[in-house]
Chains A and B, each alone.
Chain A
Amino acid sequence: DIQMTQSPASLSASVGETVTITCRASENIYSYLAWYQQKQGKSPQLLVYNAKTLAEGVPSRFSGSGSGTQFSLKINSLQPEDFGSYYCQHHYGTPPTFGGGTKLEIK
């Protein structure tokens, strides 16, 4: 299976700041990467797929980049509703696997 490694595991930031979360794949997954946001007690919500395509309804302050084995999710001008956990997931064949998550907290 392809291993997905996220960093950092946790992150503390203030409203208005810009943050970046990274995800590394154990082998080349081209651009087959998705990002999700999860709030406490809720299901994950799709943010980005194909590494850089925003899902419908996702604000433009979110952006995804990368290819191959290195990817990142950038959030510009953090809003209060952006705090929660973020997960990457490769969609290059099966089984799809997820990163361990990044918990974004309010400073």
Chain B
Amino acid sequence: DTGVSQDPRHKITKRGQNVTFRCDPISEHNRLYWYRQTLGQGPEFLTYFQNEAQLEKSRLLSDRFSAERPKGSFSTLEIQRTEQGDSAMYLCASSTTGNEQYFGPGTRLTVT
């Protein structure tokens, strides 16, 4: 399967813990995006990279959130000091510049 992959698929954590998610994009795609989706809503943009460069961050991305794409391939999204409001599906997508975005299966985070 050469699509976008995400790991883990599910994560249950206690409030205050740190969590890290990984995304592997489609191999030839230079852009990688992170979104968050809660029940009954469309995905909300968090941040995106073009190669290694983080080009945009949403104001939704508080200072507890950090994302990296160190070698321009896979990316990680870390949430520090998780809160119950962080419970959501975290979706990663990739694209070539300016083209259609393809999503991975997501990481479902539950903060208890």
Whether both chains belong to one complex is answered with no
B-binding residues in A (CB < 8 A) = none
A-binding residues in B (CB < 8 A) = none
